[in-house]
Amino acid sequence: MKKIGFDSQKYIELQSARIRERIDQFGGKLYLEFGGKLFDDFHASRVLPGFEPDNKIKMLLALKDQAEIVIAINANDIEKNKRRSDLGITYDTDVIRLIDIFRGFGLYVGSITLTQYADQPSAAIFEQRMKTLGLKVYRQYRIPGYPSDVKLIVSDEGYGRNDYIETTRSLVVVTAPGPGSGKMATCLSQLYHEHKRGIKAGYAKFETFPIWNLPLKHPVNLAYEAATADLNDMNMIDPFHLEAYGETTVNYNRDIEIYPVLRAMFEQIYGECPYASPTDMGVNMAGLSIIDDEVCREASKQEIIRRYFKTACLVRQGLASEAELQKIENLMRQLKLEPENRPVVLAALKRAEATGQPAAALELPDGTIVTGRTSELLGASSALTLNALKMLAGIPHEVKLISPTVIAPIQTLKTDYMQSRNPRLHTDEMLVALAISAATDENAMRAMQKLDELSGCDLHSSVILGTVDDSVFKRLGINVTCEATYEDNNLYHK
């Protein structure tokens, strides 16, 4: 059984109650800047075992009748065709995906706002497309001197130029497809417009990480630094909170750096700032829902090692900088971690060395480590998946789950008709072959039924995986790492 360190039900109850309190504090209307991933927070589920990836959605569903969602997207990101690295889709496409998902949960999506709008051609096309789909779209414009020129920003020539987003509910959740989308600017612009209309409204910030009431160097908070190495985020003691209350809390550098400006903006709008510190602005209750600190510490250490391998591969692919990798290496030194502290690493490397071919290893829920090697019929990932399913189903290793008579036609299709040079079955092809075999073979059926037990398992490959295998493992919920090396010396890799 997977060790649990976090109480999801307690979290949902505490978090929804905290947000209700903040709504009441501001007289019945709250703009909530929602940072991070709203419904698929797999990072949180890895570092806080017991946290469900959709916990935040469940929390919002507890506030369903009060909440509406505004999605902010930076017009420059649309113009640059910016993509989500985890999903491989553009930000504008992700906005549509998010709307469908929110609606599927029964949440009300009120509108989309285009931030830093400056007549970018792609943004204008996106705006028209959204309006054609029946969605409300608003614009926020670039403000010279943002965020330092507070006098201009909080004026009719600053926030006053922005469209006023018409909202109807007491909780307005402002979310986005990624960082830098202008969520905070959207909230503050709305406060300016609401104040001009005589409507009482407040602002709060929801960020799961860093967790404000955990120590600065707690592995959970350090894992957040590893996850945001590309953003150069850094956890810091909140000096404003310490001065105001004599209490040590943790925040991150960007919020601490921007706080004096935010305070000045609040004072310009309301005459006073309702918050004495960046920590005060937050409503995060995750730290109060940890029930086993040691479990969360160990899970976070493993996440940092995973981030190390992921970033090393990105550096090898030319998609990340050495500085990002060095930052994670420094975090590992602080916690006295080595890459080999991830149990599947040595197992995969030993199997690769013994066979002279790419290999992979996977740790099952009970701690058993299974390996797979490259063969004439199967790639290492496919072989590993089959071996793991056999182990979970109690099927002897020597039993063949897929008949060679099933594999052979697939190989012929790949090489003779699809112009593939590699006859070995990738993981997706192997799973289709297994499903076909399951129709007539009881062992194959038993193995198929164990697929969901691979979710949450750790896997390491001795080479960088191809996109197909990597995608399949992600869909199965497997935590994948790879050595930062390719199987061959080709310049082009799929």
Residue 338: Cβ-neighbour burial (10 angstroms; 0-12, 13-18, 19+): exposed
**How do beta strands 359-363 and 250-252 pair?**
unpaired
Q: What is the CATH architecture of 342-482?
A: 3-Layer(aba) Sandwich (3.40)
Residue 326: its pLDDT value, please? 97
Residue 293's φ and ψ, nearest 5 degrees, are -60, -40
Handedness of CA 301, 302, 303, 305 (dihedral sign): positive
The answer for 109, left when phi > 0, alpha when psi is -120 to 50, beta otherwise, is: beta
Give domain limits for the chain.
8-289, 342-482
Distance CA 115, CA 74 (A): 5
What pLDDT, in 10s, does the model give residues 175-223?
A: 999 888 999 999 999 999 999 999 999 999 999 999 999 999 999 999 9
The CATH class of the 8-289 domain is alpha beta
Q: Is the peptide bond before 423 cis (omega within 30 degrees of 0)?
A: no
Q: Is the peptide bond before 179 cis (omega within 30 degrees of 0)?
A: no
The pair of structure tokens assigned to 412 is 């012929």
What pLDDT, in 10s, does the model give residues 233-242?
A: 899 999 999 9
Name the residue type at position 55.
Answer: N
> What residues pair up with 6 in beta bridges, in sequence order?
290
Handedness of CA 406, 412, 417, 423 (dihedral sign): positive
Residue 403: its pLDDT value, please? 83
Residue 18: its pLDDT value, please? 96
The H-or-E segment that residue 61 falls in is: helix 55-61
Residue 270's φ and ψ, nearest 5 degrees, are -105, -15
The residue among 220, 252, 266 whose CA lies nearest residue 50 is: 220
Q: C-alpha dihedral over 94, 100, 102, 106, to 10 degrees?
A: 180
Kindly give the confidence (pLDDT) of every residue in the chain, 494 residues in length, as a single tens digit, with 9 standing for 90 and above: 679 999 999 999 999 999 999 999 999 999 999 987 777 789 999 999 999 988 999 999 999 999 999 999 999 999 999 988 777 789 999 999 999 999 999 999 999 999 999 999 999 999 999 999 999 999 999 999 888 899 999 999 999 999 999 999 999 999 999 888 999 999 999 999 999 999 999 999 999 999 999 999 999 999 999 999 988 889 999 999 999 999 999 998 989 999 998 899 899 998 899 999 999 999 999 999 999 999 999 999 999 999 999 999 999 999 899 999 999 999 999 999 999 999 999 999 999 999 999 999 999 999 999 999 998 888 999 999 999 999 999 999 999 999 888 888 888 888 888 888 788 888 999 999 999 999 999 999 999 999 999 999 999 999 999 989 999 999 999 999 999 999 876 655 55
**Global pTM value:** 0.91
